[in-house]
Structure 1
Amino acid sequence: MDEVKIGEILQPVGGSEGRRREETVRRKFWRTLRRAAGQIPFAEDLVAGFYCAIDPDTPPRVRGILFAALAYFVMPVDIVPDFLAGFGFTDDVTVLLTALTAVKAHIRPAHRLAARNALMTNEKQRA
Structure 2
Amino acid sequence: MATPREQGFGQRLKRFFRPIVGYVKVLFDPATPWRIRMILAAGVLYLLSPYDLLPDWFLGLGIIDDLAVVSLLGLLAGRMTESDKRNGAE
Supply the AA of the counterpart residue of 1:45.
P
Determine which of 91, 101, 113 is the counterpart of 2:65.
Answer: 91
Provide the alpha-carbon RMSD of the alignment. Answer: 2.6
Determine which of 35, 47, 58 is the counterpart of 1:61.
Answer: 35
Higher relative contact order (CA 8 A, sep 6+): 1
- Structure exhibiting the larger radius of gyration computed from Cα positions: 2
State, as a whole percentage, how many aligned pairs show the same letter: 32
CA deviation vs aligned residue, 1:19-73 (integer Å, no higher than 9, x gap): xxxxxxxxxxxxxxxxxxxxxx954313321221122221101001000011101
Supply the AA of the counterpart residue of 2:62.
G
Distance in 1 (CA, whole Å) between partners of 2:32 and 2:58 is 34
Match of 1:80 in 2: 54
Distance in 2 (CA, whole Å) between partners of 1:96 and 1:89 is 11
User: Counting helix residues as a fraction of each chain, which structure ranks higher?
Assistant: 1
- TM-score, normalised relative to structure 1: 0.43
Unaligned runs of 5+ in 2: 1-14, 82-90
Residue pairs, 1:107-122, within 5 angstroms: none
Match of 2:25 in 1: 51
